[in-house]
């Protein structure tokens, strides 16, 4: 099974991959896509 991960920052990929590795998941268990335009804007 592959888990799809939608990130707003590319730096999150390593965090998720490291967590998956520490849980004994295969390297191919996560599929990543980065969409920075979905990031919430803060105030004016």
Residue 11 confidence (pLDDT):
96
* Assigned domain for 44 exists: no
* Assigned domain for 17 exists: yes
Q: Say how many domains are in the chain.
A: 1
* Assigned domain for 30 exists: yes
**Residue recorded with tokens 């490291």:** 18
* Assigned domain for 14 exists: yes
Minimal CA–CA distance to 35: which of 8, 12, 14?
A: 8
Q: What is the pLDDT along the chain (44 residues), one digit of tens a residue?
A: 899 999 999 999 999 999 999 999 998 999 999 999 988 877 66
Residue 44 confidence (pLDDT):
66
* Assigned domain for 43 exists: no
Specify whether the CB–CB gap between 34 and 5 falls below 8 A.
Answer: no
Residue 22 CA to residue 11 CA, distance in Å, equals 18
* Assigned domain for 32 exists: yes
* Assigned domain for 18 exists: yes
**Residue recorded with tokens 């965090």:** 15
Main-chain dihedrals φ then ψ at residue 2, nearest 5 degrees = -110, 135
Q: Which residues pair with 8 in a beta bridge?
A: none
**Which residue range(s) make up the domain with 29?**
3-38
């Amino acid at each position: 099974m592959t888990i799809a991960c939608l990130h707003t920052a590319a730096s999150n990929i390593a965090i998720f991959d490291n967590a998956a590795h520490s849980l004994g998941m295969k390297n191919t268990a996560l599929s990543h896509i980065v969409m920075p335009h979905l990031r919430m804007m803060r105030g004016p």
